[in-house]
């Protein structure tokens, strides 16, 4: 009741907009940490603010944020609601960021429960709430734990075993210091073990993120100057795949324009078609808008015009996308060549969208670039829900903190504080919270006592 909870309040992936609700003392603070726009700690209650959800510098989504301060809210606590763009990927990412920054994933019925406990809703509803909690809660927990495959669950169990062995060895050193035949854990001996654990957690996070790609798809952004064929490429891809098109022409919002299925992986494609290219500020606006897309995409497709010379803006964009996964294509090869290829990367793909030439080569390049072929076969089993990934990242952070304490020359029992936290966080992922586990391990592995 004293912590801050968060959850996606709208049906996943269905509507054009998703709402993520955050409730608790710290909710404004937590959202403020990942919000680029006004300082939310200084805004009035019951106001709405435009801005971006950011992860460090990376823009995750363009959002509207409602700030409602206690007590005139549903739960009678401070509530912040984030209106995002509906796609599964950005919505989950926002939730994940909230969890990483101090919120806890709400239990089923928990907003309602708080509303009740804080006297916001009628007593008659109490039984209903208890029913919801008892019918959904355990089921939900079991479900989310069952969703973790045996392979991953074993991986986490192994990680926890590695960690608990370290902890119980340290504990034995502390509780039985007079035993000289038990290995003494020193910072020097501990460091390589922790680095190894850190590496393993990192790998699991990486695999889990790959797994997310499979479940949630890739964000693909198409950029290029006006009239190079961005919309044509989009339509070509969509038409062929007979995907659903959300036509949002005329709006200024660059939400996902369409989704195609490539080798079983969803590609959520965005382009700058939404910008009205009528005024003379178009070039500047185009570059700004492109940068924004570059920031939020997993893959950038940049289109050049075979029939035109390279412009200053083209060069600028080519330079920017170097840091990210990208494909450069040259369109309109059916027209005269005016583009100087010697100044461009060798792996540029030459296509003619109107003649449907080179599209397959583009698709193959995407598959190759993301190892999409390999992904499918093995990685679907990794953790992909926001809760598990945030717990993994938190435990990684704790291991890193313990490594820092070693570097600061702290005594072993201080170093151990964060290792213990990491062990507990990993336990939460697979639902192992058995508190006597440590003592059991300690007494089964060491021979102690008078």
Contact residues toward another protein (CB under 8 A) are 1-3, 107, 110, 113, 116-117, 119, 123, 126, 129-131, 133-134, 137-138, 141, 171, 173-181, 408-414, 417, 434-436, 438-439, 442-443, 447-450
Q: Looking at beta carbons only, is 313 or 432 nearer to another protein?
A: 432
Q: Looking at beta carbons only, is 176 or 397 nearer to another protein?
A: 176
Q: Looking at beta carbons only, is 76 or 332 nearer to another protein?
A: 76
Q: Looking at beta carbons only, is 330 or 405 nearer to another protein?
A: 405
Across the strands, what pairs with 5?
A: 23, 104
Distance between CA atoms of residues 417 and 419, nearest Å: 6
Taking the complex as a whole, how short is the minimal distance between the CB of residue 45 and another protein, in angstroms? 25
Across the strands, what pairs with 266?
A: 261
Q: Looking at beta carbons only, is 150 or 411 nearer to another protein?
A: 411
Q: Looking at beta carbons only, is 259 or 405 nearer to another protein?
A: 405
Backbone phi and psi for residue 238, each to the nearest 5 degrees, phi listed first: -70, -45
Distance between CA atoms of residues 443 and 432, nearest Å: 19
Taking the complex as a whole, how short is the minimal distance between the CB of residue 277 and another protein, in angstroms? 53
Q: Looking at beta carbons only, is 76 or 225 nearer to another protein?
A: 76
Q: Write the DSSP assignment of 367-431 as a string of letters.
A: HHHTTHHHHHHHGGGS--SHHHHHHHHHHHHHHHHHHHHHHTT--HHHHHHHHHHHHHHHHHHHT
E strands, 56-147, where? 58-68, 79-84, 104-105
Q: Looking at beta carbons only, is 74 or 341 nearer to another protein?
A: 74
Q: Is the dihedral of CA 160, 161, 163, 169 positive or negative?
A: positive
Kindly report the number of other CB atoms within 10 A of residue 154's CB atom. 13
Q: Which distant-in-sequence residues (6+ apart) come within 8 Å of 344 by Cβ? A: 304, 310, 318, 328, 330
Taking the complex as a whole, how short is the minimal distance between the CB of residue 396 and another protein, in angstroms? 18
Question: Whose CA is closest to 383, among 197, 198, 147, 158?
Answer: 147
Question: Would you mind telling me the total number of residues written for the chain in this entry?
Answer: 450
Q: Looking at beta carbons only, is 17 or 447 nearer to another protein?
A: 447
Taking the complex as a whole, how short is the minimal distance between the CB of residue 438 and another protein, in angstroms? 6
Taking the complex as a whole, how short is the minimal distance between the CB of residue 181 and another protein, in angstroms? 6
Taking the complex as a whole, how short is the minimal distance between the CB of residue 154 and another protein, in angstroms? 24
Distance between CA atoms of residues 366 and 267, nearest Å: 10
Distance between CA atoms of residues 355 and 383, nearest Å: 42
| 8 A C-beta contact, residue 299 and residue 325 | yes
Across the strands, what pairs with 300?
A: 221, 326
Q: Which distant-in-sequence residues (6+ apart) come within 8 Å of 232 by Cβ? A: 331, 353, 354
Pairing of strands 349-350, 5-8: unpaired
How far are the Cα atoms of 182, 189, 200, 377 from residue 178, in angstroms, in the given order? Answer: 9, 20, 34, 53
Taking the complex as a whole, how short is the minimal distance between the CB of residue 48 and another protein, in angstroms? 31
Q: Looking at beta carbons only, is 279 or 409 nearer to another protein?
A: 409
Taking the complex as a whole, how short is the minimal distance between the CB of residue 293 and another protein, in angstroms? 41
Across the strands, what pairs with 36?
A: 52
Taking the complex as a whole, how short is the minimal distance between the CB of residue 29 and another protein, in angstroms? 15
Taking the complex as a whole, how short is the minimal distance between the CB of residue 134 and another protein, in angstroms? 4
Taking the complex as a whole, how short is the minimal distance between the CB of residue 184 and another protein, in angstroms? 9
Across the strands, what pairs with 19?
A: 83
* C-alpha atoms less than 13 angstroms from C-alpha of 340 in its C-beta half-sphere: 7
Q: Looking at beta carbons only, is 106 or 260 nearer to another protein?
A: 106
Query: H-type helices in 118-266, by residue range?
Result: 126-132, 138-146, 150-175, 187-216, 230-241
Q: Looking at beta carbons only, is 225 or 420 nearer to another protein?
A: 420
Taking the complex as a whole, how short is the minimal distance between the CB of residue 303 and another protein, in angstroms? 51
Structure tokens at 406: 């070693």
């Amino acid at each position: 009741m004293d912590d801050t909870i968060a959850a996606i309040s709208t049906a996943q992936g269905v509507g054009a907009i998703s709402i993520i609700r955050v409730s608790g003392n710290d909710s404004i603070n937590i959202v403020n940490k990942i919000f680029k726009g006004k300082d939310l700690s200084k805004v009035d209650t019951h106001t709405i603010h435009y801005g971006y959800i950011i992860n460090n510098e990376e823009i995750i989504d363009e959002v509207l944020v409602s700030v409602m301060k206690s007590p005139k809210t549903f739960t009678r606590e401070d509530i912040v609601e984030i209106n995002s763009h509906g796609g599964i990927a950005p919505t989950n990412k926002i939730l994940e960021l909230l969890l990483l920054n101090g919120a806890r994933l709400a239990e089923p019925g928990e907003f309602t429960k708080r509303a009740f406990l804080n006297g916001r809703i009628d007593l008659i509803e109490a039984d209903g709430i208890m029913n919801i909690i008892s019918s959904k809660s355990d089921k939900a927990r079991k479900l989310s734990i069952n969703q973790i495959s045996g392979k991953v669950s074993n991986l986490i169990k192994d990680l926890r075993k590695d960690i608990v062995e370290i902890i119980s060895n340290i504990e034995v050193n502390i509780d039985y210091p007079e035993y000289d035949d038990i290995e003494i854990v020193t910072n020097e001996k501990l460091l390589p073990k922790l680095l190894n654990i850190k590496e393993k957690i990192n790998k699991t996070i990486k695999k889990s993120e790959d797994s997310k790609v499979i479940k949630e798809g890739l964000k693909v952004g198409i950029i290029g100057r006006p009239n190079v064929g961005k919309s044509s490429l989009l339509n070509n891809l969509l038409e062929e795949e007979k995907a659903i098109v959300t036509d949002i022409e005329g709006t200024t919002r660059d939400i996902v324009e369409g989704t195609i299925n490539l080798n079983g992986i969803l590609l959520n494609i965005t382009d700058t078609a939404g910008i009205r290219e009528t005024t003379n500020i178009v070039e500047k606006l185009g570059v700004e808008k492109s940068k924004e897309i570059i920031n939020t995409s997993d893959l950038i497709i940049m289109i050049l015009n075979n029939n035109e010379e390279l412009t200053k803006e083209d060069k600028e964009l080519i330079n920017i996308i170097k840091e990210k996964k990208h494909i450069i294509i040259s369109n309109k090869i059916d027209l005269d060549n005016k583009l100087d290829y010697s100044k461009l990367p060798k792996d540029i793909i030459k296509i003619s969208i109107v003649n449907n030439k080179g599209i397959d080569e583009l698709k193959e390049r995407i598959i190759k670039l993301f190892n999409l072929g390999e992904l499918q076969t093995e990685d679907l089993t990794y953790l992909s829900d926001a809760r598990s990934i945030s717990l993994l990242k938190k435990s990684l952070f704790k291991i890193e903190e313990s490594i820092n304490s070693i570097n600061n020359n702290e005594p072993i029992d201080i170093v151990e504080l964060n290792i213990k936290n990491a062990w507990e966080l990993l336990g939460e992922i697979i639902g192992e919270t058995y508190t006597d586990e440590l003592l059991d391990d300690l007494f089964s592995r060491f021979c102690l006592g008078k």
